[in-house]
Amino acid sequence: MKHIISALVQNRPGVLAHVAGMFAARAFNIDSLAVGRTDDPALSRMTIVVVGDDKVVEQVRKQLAKIIDVVKIQDFSGREVVARDLMLMCVHTPPEKRHEILALVEMFKAKVVDIGQKFVMVEFTGPEEKIESFVEACQPYGIKNMVRTGTIAMAKFSQTTSED
Amino acid sequence: MSKSAHQKDSAQTPSSELPIKTGAEIIVDTLIEQGVDTMFGYLGGVVLPLFDKLYDAPINFIIPRHEQGGCHMADGYARASGKVGCIVATSGPGACNLITGIANAMMDSVPMVCLTGQVRTDLIGNDAFQEADTTGITRPITKHNMIVKDIKDLQRSIREAFFIAKTGRPGPVLIDIPVDIEIAKYQLQPLEEVTLPGYKPQEKGHHRQIKMAAEAINKSERPVLYVGGGVIASNASEELRELAKKANLPVTMTLLGLGSYDQREPHSLDMLGMHGTAYANFAVQECDLMIAVGSRFDDRVTGKIKTFAPNAKFIHIDIDPASISKNVNVHIPVVGDAKYILSELTKEVQHKDRKPWFDKIADWKSRYSMKYDTKSPNIKPQYVIEQIWEATKNNAIIVTGVGQHQMWAAQFYKHTQPRHFITSGGLGTMGFGLPAAIGAQVAKPDSLVIDIDGDSSFNMTMNELCTAVQYELPIKVCIINNGYMGMVRQWQELFYGKRYSKSSLKNPQFAAVAEAFGAVGITVDKKSEVKTAIAKMLAEKRPCVVDFRVEREENVWPMVPTGKSLHEMDGLDIFESMA
């Protein structure tokens, strides 16, 4: 099962290596890891998607908390979250198919960010499943390239106020 | 990345009265401020500015013959004294040679600060001479590590390192210091409380959890206290004794827990686990409540985890929340320092008779007391250890290498007080004995320190005899010499059809080696010479090595083969035949 864990870490060199190394050393399976700065320049946030049962996730949480530069851990298991991935994709656009692809982009509320003679580059943000179905829909036209970030997530506001 | 931290630092304008010092001076001043009076370490190019300052510093400095030895010395020093062990090494090979010692300290939760030199900041990453990514290499085997790339961070980093090393679950912390930082100048900073937002060890346990634990103890008919090295680390032996006495609980110890509870006390079940006593293992398997304190349910203790203490509820007291429910499901977790929690727990528990349980234990104890063939004409390793006990009683600090001799030292020496049994439990580092004994002797110059070693363990680090001779440390080394990697041979006998693949050794004449190093060497070939050799060794003021040529194919019993449950011990029939 997939679990989303959010870790607030000190913005110091080596922290990412430490966190990633802990996962590798303990044979925990990372599905995705996204890191970015927060409003406080001294802190970064890592959103980690882990695959495993409750016991594994509990250990991940505890072992993460043990790392000195990790300030706070939130485990989103069993909570309603807003989770998003970002994807950039280059799709083949033969002239006769171009309108079909643009219609798809429209339907999925994606965004064309670059257009070439043979390709369009599309930006898409959304929950993972929606990205998967968009990829599937684009597959027949030929995907030249795609790149995705890991998931970032936040607990829904109504819940964060009561539990944090 | 660390720009923000610098901004913060420069925001607090240092008081102009504080002197400007070089990095090396700041290091020495801060070490002294942190209470360091003894250090271990080896020189090298990039740590020369530091060693130049150490020339005049009031610090007792021990130079080992190899950085690994130095690291084990700092380890033995820390365990014997309860202080933080401190070791210095140069960059590249120096730092790399520390690895085994650091990993050993990590696995056994030993407080240690390692200072490593690094190439100049502008050379880092350029494959400079003697460059290694020390923080990268040591990240998985340290509690924390850091590289100081700005002189402004140096003093704070050292203070943080000591704070992290000795608080919470203790462990090794490494600071990598480029040589230009040692030469750079900065103002000394006033002592401030260390603030680490991500590090807040919880020392006082949750009161409700402690109450729940007490209730479970009060209800229990067949409890067992299962005690690990954490009790020794938190100096909680007295609190442990009081709890065991008041609540009337039998106590079994892990290898690292030995010494936390006096084994001469009737409540002691001695060591449990793979080579633990049968009565401890039976008691664990039949208990209805297991109270684990500062122990982490190592596989050498639990045997097959699924059938470990199958009818028991588990209370787990530990400072490290990650240890709780890692290997077994814990019913009542109490996160905190053993010293505090045990004394709180003692207030809440009641005395309970539990006669049937103690009768059962007494029966196991009488049937399965530790035995060996005392009639054998050969020198039995167990006999040697018994004689060392007889000659020293509870006065000696016993240090060991790793292997059969270590298990016999655990089984046949009576451990009576904390910090008097120093052994490599978690990592199982062969070669630990001699250097750790040197460290313990440095920490306790007036104590009798005996390294009970194996021939192959001793072979690994015997060059450190030089160190013992140079610093006039009167350590005693008793080699249980069977000409084999003994434990490996035992496994080959039991599990590989006696095919002793590569496990026999051509040893040097250890006594002659000792003499060549400037120590005293004694060889013992006959059983009748054992006692006199020990007496001679104890009378000796110099470092002394006694080479006991023991029976070559003696095994450690009882033994729980890997993958078996704790009560499925081999060797009990041997015990019965000797009854």
| Per-residue pLDDT reduced to its tens digit, A95-137 | 888 999 999 999 999 999 999 989 999 999 999 999 999 999 9
Q: How confident is the model at residue B576 (pLDDT cuts 50, 70, 90)?
A: confident
Average pLDDT, chain A: 92
For residue B8, the model assigns a pLDDT of 45
For residue B15, the model assigns a pLDDT of 56
CB contact A137 to B (< 8 Å): no
Q: What is the mean pLDDT of residues B38-66?
A: 98
> Has residue B16 got a pLDDT over 80?
no
| Per-residue pLDDT reduced to its tens digit, B418-464 | 999 999 999 999 999 999 999 999 999 999 999 999 999 999 999 99
| Per-residue pLDDT reduced to its tens digit, A56-65 | 999 999 999 9
For residue B4, the model assigns a pLDDT of 44
Yes or no, beta carbons of B1 and A66 under 8 Å apart: no
Yes or no, beta carbons of B326 and A59 under 8 Å apart: yes
Yes or no, beta carbons of B198 and A13 under 8 Å apart: no
| Per-residue pLDDT reduced to its tens digit, B290-338 | 999 999 999 999 999 999 999 999 999 999 999 999 999 999 999 999 9
Q: Which residue of B has its CA nearest to A56?
A: B326
For residue A1, the model assigns a pLDDT of 85
B380 close to B372: Cβ distance less than 8 angstroms:
yes
- What gap in Å lies between CA B572 and CA B575, rounded to an integer? 5
Residue B414 contacts by C-beta under 8 Å, 6 or more apart in sequence?
B263, B264, B389, B394
Q: Which residue of A has its CA nearest to B164?
A: A68
> Has residue B11 got a pLDDT over 70?
no
Q: Most B CBs within 10 Å: which of A15, A19, A37, A66, as the mutation test of the B interface? A: A66
Yes or no, beta carbons of A41 and B139 under 8 Å apart: no
CB contact A27 to B (< 8 Å): no
- What gap in Å lies between CA B579 and CA B368, rounded to an integer? 9
Identify residues of B whose CB sits under 8 angstroms from chain A CBs.
1-5, 8, 135-136, 139-140, 143-147, 164, 196-199, 320-322, 324-326
For residue A78, the model assigns a pLDDT of 84
For residue A15, the model assigns a pLDDT of 93
Of B84-88, B333-337, B572-576, minimum mean pLDDT range: B572-576
- What gap in Å lies between CA B248 and CA B326, rounded to an integer? 28
The distance of A37 to chain B (nearest Cα, Å) reads 10
CB contact A113 to B (< 8 Å): no
| Per-residue pLDDT reduced to its tens digit, B96-112 | 999 999 999 999 999 99
* Chain A hits for B135, Cβ within 8 Å: 14
Alpha-helical regions (H) of B267-354: 278-286, 299-302, 338-348
Yes or no, beta carbons of A13 and B147 under 8 Å apart: yes
Q: How confident is the model at residue A159 (pLDDT cuts 50, 70, 90)?
A: low
H and E: helices and strands count for chain A: 5, 9
- Identify the residue with better confidence: B577 or B357: B357
Output the DSSP codes for B446-461: TSEEEEEEEHHHHHHH
Of A71-80, B346-355, B399-408, B486-495, minimum mean pLDDT range: A71-80
pTM for the structure as a whole? 0.94
Q: How confident is the model at residue B13 (pLDDT cuts 50, 70, 90)?
A: low
Say what the ipTM of the complex is: 0.89
Q: Which tokens go with B535?
A: 């007496």
- What gap in Å lies between CA B410 and CA A149, rounded to an integer? 54
Percentage above 90 pLDDT, chain B: 95
Q: What is the mean pLDDT of residues B256-260?
A: 98
The beta-carbon contacts of B414-417 under 8 Å, at least 24 apart in sequence, are: B414/B263, B414/B264, B414/B389, B415/B253, B415/B258, B415/B259, B415/B263, B416/B259, B416/B262, B416/B263, B416/B264, B417/B237, B417/B259, B417/B262
The distance of A54 to chain B (nearest Cα, Å) reads 12
Q: How confident is the model at residue B578 (pLDDT cuts 50, 70, 90)?
A: confident
> Has residue B38 got a pLDDT over 50?
yes
Please report how the helices B151-166 and B23-33 are oriented relative to each other, as an axis angle in degrees rounded to 10. 30
Q: What is the mean pLDDT of residues B463-482?
A: 98
> Has residue B3 got a pLDDT over 70?
no
Distances (CA, A) of B100 to A121, B67, B91, B141, B255: 52, 10, 16, 9, 20
Q: How confident is the model at residue B59 (pLDDT cuts 50, 70, 90)?
A: very high
The distance of A38 to chain B (nearest Cα, Å) reads 13
- What gap in Å lies between CA B116 and CA B182, rounded to an integer? 11
The distance of A18 to chain B (nearest Cα, Å) reads 7
- What gap in Å lies between CA B546 and CA B373, rounded to an integer? 22
Q: Which residue of A has its CA nearest to B320?
A: A66
Of A29-38, B218-227, B527-536, minimum mean pLDDT range: A29-38
Average pLDDT, chain B: 96
For residue B174, the model assigns a pLDDT of 98
- What gap in Å lies between CA B143 and CA B164, rounded to an integer? 8
Nearest to B280 by CA among B308, B251, B249, B256: B251
> Has residue A6 got a pLDDT over 60?
yes
Backbone angles phi, psi at B452, to 5 degrees: -90, 115
For residue B17, the model assigns a pLDDT of 81
CB contact A12 to B (< 8 Å): yes
Q: Which tokens go with B560?
A: 């729980």
Yes or no, beta carbons of A21 and B140 under 8 Å apart: yes
For residue B394, the model assigns a pLDDT of 82
Largest CA distance in chain B: 79
